[in-house]
Amino acid sequence: MSDVLGNPTIPPDVSDSLAVLEKQRSTAETFGIPLAVLLEITHRCPLQCPYCSNPVELDRSAKELTTEEWKKVLSELAEIGVLQVHFSGGEPTARKDLVELVKHASDAGLYTNLITSAVLLTRERLSQLADAGLCHVQISFQGVEEGLADRVAGYRNGHRKKLEVAKWTRELDLPLTVNAVMHRQNLHQLPDIIQMAVDLDADRLEVANVQYYGWALKNRAALMPTVAQLDECTRLVEEARERLKGTLAIDYVVPDYYALRPKKCMGGWGRQFFNISPAGKVLPCHAAESITGLDFESVRSNHSIAWIWQNSDAFNRYRGTGWMKEPCKTCEFREIDFGGCRCQAFALTGDAANTDPACALSPLHETIFKQAEREAEGETNRFLYRNFSGGTLESENGT
Amino acid sequence: MAGPRNISVSEASRPVLPRHAKLKYDETRQVWVILAPERVLAPDEIAVEVLQLCNGERNVGDVADQLAAKYAAPREAILADVVVMLQDLADKGFLTEAREKTS
């Protein structure tokens, strides 16, 4: 009974999906191709969530890769050793060729996941996706009842539709993840959201606190939770994890503003992850285009995806530790968290090579933490909705 | 619908990987992996062998019998190890049980 991988049956911490690569081969030296890739196949979306993870500058549909281009990308990804693809957006079901793309990915041996708002899906189309080999469906929820949920999404009757699609998903025997993005205005609904996930027969629930870049940064004052809210959230998640063991797996993402140490964003720049934008740019993270002065290569260039991953300037710029300044440069945690998030460092300090202010060692940490605390206690609840025209401010009466 | 949740693995269980967990040999990295939503697990060699035997038809006792014969090892020790390993997978949501055939 030899132990091939030199570790127990299942890695003790499976919360990091890429722990496998990280442990087995030193990606720091070899930059092995990521196991999973996020495909943002379009930025079009009927929802207008104020914390959307897409860049503020959205790709218009005319710039989107064609069906044939995406198919070529999928084949290439499978060939170089990517195992999973997440079809995301925008709203991936806004692309008419989604079934065709899922089929192509499945035929290439890729594990396929659909990350969707669900509001555009019909039962027939979902059934076609299942037949095309779709492995898993993740549906986002903005709350637990339609009043708040539809207001956050800026989309009428969205919540009702999501519940319906979640039901179809299970009827078609597709596994379901409920993705709940949490912030100050919906954290009080968390106990009911957990119960909703159980009632929907979901396998998995993501309790994902908003991360404050791009659209979310613009809406920070309306979204930032208080420390007390966050503590309660953590307690509820821990209690539910224990109570629902074997029934519902719960992943938990906390906002890093209230941490002392920054998160190991993306597992470190260019180490474990990349995504492809609607226009075909290969990006170290979905917010990377917010950093100005970086030139991202496209799948439309004459370089292969593997070459872009290994050799392009954008991927190598913040890879490893060589780019670091103080206090990161000599910090004992520099290879633990890689200085946090480059996009956040850029957004809050103007230089992506600075320490992420989420880190207590950043000279800006105190200022930013205090500001977040003030915003959390503030009265600003109006959203700036996400759209192609730079955002629309919610009206005073919340419509 | 998928099989029952919250399963308790015993000698009589007939476990199987659920649809969202796929056992696959990764040619690039030369390792076996279990692909699941947002997860890639690296089962060791014996776990792979156990999971390949878990087809929803065999029960855990049958699996232990086969492994005991193959490795000429004590059946009870193997059974105990297999149950622990499968329960761990079940608790993480990566194992289900074949439904009883309704007559």
Domains and their CATH numbers in chain A:
34-258 (3.20.20.70), 273-362 (no CATH)
Min distance A132 CA to chain B CA atoms (Å): 14
**How big is chain A, counted in residues?**
399
Best mutation target, A5, A7, A10, to test chain B (most B CBs within 10 A): A10
Buried b (16+ CB within 10 A) or exposed e, A339-366: bbbbbbbbbbbeebebbbbbbebbebbe
Banded pLDDT at A92 (limits 50, 70, 90): very high
> Which segments in chain B show pLDDT lower than 70?
1-5, 99-103
Taking 90 as the threshold, does the pLDDT of residue A184 lie above it?
Answer: yes
Question: According to the model, what pLDDT value does residue A279 have?
Answer: 97
Query: In terms of residues, how long is chain B?
Result: 103
Could you tell me which chain B residue has the CA closest to the CA of A113? B37
In angstroms, the CA A213 to CA A216 distance is: 5
Closest chain B residue to A134, measured at CA: B20
* Residue B6 contacts A where some CB pair is shorter than 8 Å: yes
Residue A4, pLDDT > 60, answer: no
| CB contact (8 A) between residue B2 and residue A204 | no
* A80, A317, A350, A387 from A323: Cα distances, Å: 28, 7, 16, 35
The predicted structure's pLDDT at residue A26: 34
Residue labelled with tokens 């966050």: A230
Whether residue B33 and residue A20 make contact (CB cut-off 8 A), yes or no, is yes
Q: Are A282 and A274 in contact (CB under 8 A)?
A: yes
Q: What is the pLDDT of residue A156?
A: 95
Is the separation of the CB atoms in B87 and B8 below 8 Å? yes
Residues of A within 8 A of B22 (CB-CB) are: 111, 135
DSSP lists the bridge partners of residue A140 as: A179
Q: What confidence tens digit (pLDDT) does each residue in A98-135 have?
A: 999 999 999 999 999 999 999 999 999 999 999 999 99
> B18 to chain A: which residues are within 8 Å by CB?
175, 203
User: Partners of A177 in the beta sheet?
Assistant: A138, A204
As a whole number, the mean pLDDT across chain A is: 89
Q: Is the dihedral of CA A163, A169, A175, A177 positive or negative?
A: negative
Whether pLDDT at A28 is above 80: no
A133: left (phi over 0), alpha (psi -120 to 50) or beta: left
Distance CA A148, CA A180 (A): 13
Q: Identify the residue whose tokens are 């649809």.
A: B19
> Is the CB of A24 less than 8 angstroms away from the CB of B42?
yes
A272: DSSP letter: S
Are B35 and A32 a contacting pair at CB < 8 A? no
Could you give phi then psi for residue A68, rounded to 5 degrees? -65, -40
Residue B43 has a pLDDT of 87
Does residue A95 register a pLDDT over 50?
yes
Distance CA A47, CA A269 (A): 29
A245 falls in which pLDDT band (50, 70, 90)? Answer: confident
| A43, A90 contact by CB (below 8 A) | yes
- What phi, psi does B42 have (nearest 5°)? -115, 90
Domains for chain B: give ranges and CATH numbers.
15-94 (1.10.10.1150)
pLDDT given at position A398: 57
Q: Residue B74's CB: how many other CB atoms inside 10 A?
A: 10
- Strand-strand pairing, B22-26 and B31-36: antiparallel
pLDDT value for B62: 94
Interface predicted TM-score (ipTM) of this complex, two decimals: 0.79
User: Which chain A residues are within 8 Å of B24, Cβ to Cβ?
Assistant: 83, 109
B75–chain A nearest CA distance, Å = 14
CB A72 within 8 A of CB A26: no
**B25 and A CB contact within 8 Å:** no
Which residues does residue A87 pair with via DSSP β-bridges, in sequence order?
A: A39, A114
CB atoms within 10 A of CB A216: 23
Residue A392 has pLDDT above 70, yes or no: yes
Q: How far is A127 from chain B (nearest CA, A)?
A: 14
Provide, as residue numbers in chain B, all residues whose Cβ is less than 8 Å from the Cβ of A112: none
| Chain A residues closer than 8 Å to B51 by CB | none
Sign of CA dihedral B52, B53, B57, B61: negative
Cβ neighbourhood burial of B62 (10 Å; 0-12, 13-18, 19+): middle
A47 backbone dihedrals φ, ψ, rounded to 5°: -85, 165
Is B5's Cβ below 8 Å from some Cβ in A?
Answer: yes
Do A246 and B93 make contact, defined as CB atoms within 8 angstroms?
yes
Was A45 annotated as part of a binding site?
yes
pLDDT at B100: 53
> Distance between CA B32 and CA A5 in Å, rounded?
10
Q: Give CA–CA dist B32/B27, Å, rounded.
A: 9
* CB-based contact A173 B1, cutoff 8 Å: yes
Q: Which of A2, A35, A171 is closest, CB to CB, to B45?
A: A2
What are A47's two structure tokens?
């929802």
Q: Residue A209 gets which letter from DSSP?
A: E
Instruction: Give tens-digit pLDDT for A302-349.
Output: 999 999 999 999 999 999 999 999 999 999 999 999 999 999 999 999
What is the model's pLDDT at position A255?
77
A52 appears as a binding residue in the annotation: yes
Q: Where residue A22 falls among pLDDT bands split at 50, 70, 90? A: very low
Three-class SS of residue B26? strand
Burial of A182 (0-12, 13-18, 19+ CB in 10 A): buried
Which residues of chain A are within 8 Å of residue B85 when distances are taken between CB atoms?
9-10
Q: Give the torsion sign (CA, A134, B15, B5, B9).
A: negative
Chain B positions in Cβ-Cβ contact with residue A17 (cut-off 8 Å): 38-40
| HSE (side-chain half, CA atoms, 13 Å) at A84 | 28
pLDDT at residue A13 tops 50: no
pLDDT digit string, tens, across residues A144-157? 999 999 999 999 99
Residue A121 in tokens: 């899906």
Asked if A138's CB is within 8 angstroms of B37's CB, the reply is yes
> Which of A238, A276, A318, A296 has the alpha carbon at shortest distance from A88?
A276
pLDDT (mean) for A258-266: 86
Q: What is the pLDDT of residue A77?
A: 97
Give the contacts of A298 (CB within 8 A, at least 6 positions apart): A279, A280, A281, A282
